[in-house]
Structure 1
Amino acid sequence: MKITLKISLILFLIASFTSCEKEYTCHCEKIGGGDEHFTVKAKKKDASKACEDLQKAAPTLYSSCSL
């Protein structure tokens, strides 16, 4: 029983250190006022890149985008 508990605890700790996808909100400020929010489900690094790419794809619409 103690071995099973120790193994379970070790597996739980390993799982807690793995990177998983979460929902992040990309905040974009519109040129001319106002803002929009987009939800991105990804790892933080990928969500940040997607948010930056959104601003680059529509430079005449958004002045800046960030998580």
Structure 2
Amino acid sequence: LKQVAAQAGIPFLVSIPQSGDAKKLQPYFAELAEKVITSKPVVLKEVTLGRRLKRKVAKGLIRRL
């Protein structure tokens, strides 16, 4: 999962094991909280490409009117 995130340019925050014990999970959530606070937002390519396509379609329709 870390490799896939790195290849896509998405920050990998943390891998949390499946456990019912809150004491075992606390360090993982503390690490996650710190990474979320210090991380920078990433704009995914799919989102920007979708917005560009919508803009182009809207501009084309407006020009035809």
Structure 1 length-normalised TM: 0.31
Q: Hey, which of these two has a bigger chunk of strand by percent?
A: 1
Structure 2 length-normalised TM: 0.32
Q: Hey, which of these two has a bigger chunk of helix by percent?
A: 2
Structure with bigger RCO (C-alpha 8 Å, 6+ apart): 1
